[in-house]
Amino acid sequence: MEGEIFDFDPINDQSTEQDMSERKSKNNNNNINDNTTSTSNKTNYSIVDMLEHEFADQERRERGEHDYNELKESKIFDYLDNANNNANNTKNETNLNTEDDDEFYDKYVPTDENIVNEYLNKLENSKENLDNNEIEENNLKSKYIERSNNDLNKIRFNKSIIGIYIPPENFARVCEGVYRSSFPRIENFQFLKSLKLKSILCLIPEEYPIENIKFNEKNDIKFYQIGLSGNKEPFVKIKPQLVTEAIKILINPENQPILIHCNRGKHRTGCIIGCIRKLQKWSHSMIFDEYRKFAFPKERPLDQQFIEMYNDEEVENFAIQNRLLPIQW
C-alpha cells in the first residue's frame, strides 16, 4: 500500500482490512473508466512524483513563456527583415522595369508579318492605269454626291461615305505644312494619303520598314531619316547638331506638307517641336506645357532640359537668310 494514493485517510480510518481492500478495488475501477480528466491518472503516482511533476510543469511554463517571448521577438525581426528585403527587391525590379520600359518606348516594334505581306500583296494586285483610277473616282463621286437642280455649283452628300481614316497616335498639326505623330502603321496610310504629304522625316535609327517605303514610293513622298537616341537618365543623348538639321528640313517650304515622327511621337519628336517653338518665340512654360501634353504619362525632365538649353542661333540664322521667318501658323 505504500506509495499509493486513495480517496481515504489510511491513518485515521478505522475500517477493517476487508473494507480497505474493497475501497481499493472500487477506486482502481473508477480510475480505469474515467478518461475525461488528468486527475483520474493520479492512481499510480507517489507524492514525490507528483511534486516533481508539478515543479517540472511550473518550470516548463516559465521556460515556455520565455521561449515564447524569444520566439515572438525573433519572428518580429524576421518579418521586418523580410519586409525590408522585399521592399528593396521591389524597388530594384521597378527601376529595372522602368529602364526596360524606356528602351521599349524608344525602339520601333515591327508590324505583324502577316499584315505586312497582305498589304504588299494588295499593292501588287491593285496596279491599274491612271484612266481606270479616274473613272473609279468619278463613279464614287456620282455615287455619294448629289447636285442641286437649280444650281450645279451646289452639292450635297446623299449617302454616308464608306471608309474610316485612322490617324497615327499623337497626331497633330504643328504649324502651316508641318505635322507630328507616332510611327505610321498600315492602318494609318489612308489618312496620311489624304494629307497629300511631300515629305516624311523619321527620327528613329532603325531600318525603315518595307511597307512604309512602298507607301512613300507609291505616293511620291520624299523620305528623310535622322536617327536620334532618346534622352535617358542620367545622360542627354540627343545631339544638338542633328536637331538643327531636322529643323532645317521641317521649315523648308519645298518639303511641306511634311510629317515628323519617332516611335511614340512623344520624346524625340517633342524635343524637335519644342525647339521649333523657340523659333516662334514661345515662352518656356508654353513649350513645356505642350511637351508634357504629348509625352504624358512619361514626361522626361532631360527632354525639357535639352529644349531649354538648345542654342537655336544657327537655325535662326538659316531661317532668316532663307526668309523662312516668321513661321506661319
Give me the pLDDT at residue 3, please.
47
How many residues are listed for the chain in this entry? 329
The strand pairing partners of 223, in sequence order, are: 200
Q: Which positions are annotated as active-site residues?
A: 262
Q: 181: closest CA among 191, 167, 194? A: 167
Give me the pLDDT at residue 73, please.
61
- 224-256 per-position pLDDT tens digit: 999 988 777 776 678 999 999 999 999 999 999
Distances (CA, A) of 3 to 10, 24, 34, 39, 48: 12, 13, 21, 17, 9
Looking at this protein, which amino acid is placed at residue 165? Y
Q: 223: closest CA among 275, 260, 168? A: 260
Give me the pLDDT at residue 58, please.
64
Give me the pLDDT at residue 97, please.
46
Give me the pLDDT at residue 298, please.
87
- 2-40 per-position pLDDT tens digit: 444 444 444 444 555 555 556 556 555 555 555 444 444
Give me the pLDDT at residue 21, please.
59
According to CATH, the topology of domain 166-321 is Protein-Tyrosine Phosphatase; Chain A (3.90.190)
**Domain spans, the chain:** 45-93, 112-162, 166-321
Q: Hey, is 175 helix, strand or coil?
A: strand
Give me the pLDDT at residue 249, please.
96
Give me the pLDDT at residue 40, please.
43
* Cα–Cα distance for residue pair 5/298, rounded to 1 Å: 85
Give me the pLDDT at residue 230, please.
77
Report residue 74 as a C-alpha cell.
525573433
Q: What residues in the chain have per-residue pLDDT under 70? A: 1-106, 127-163, 235-236, 329
Give me the pLDDT at residue 105, please.
60
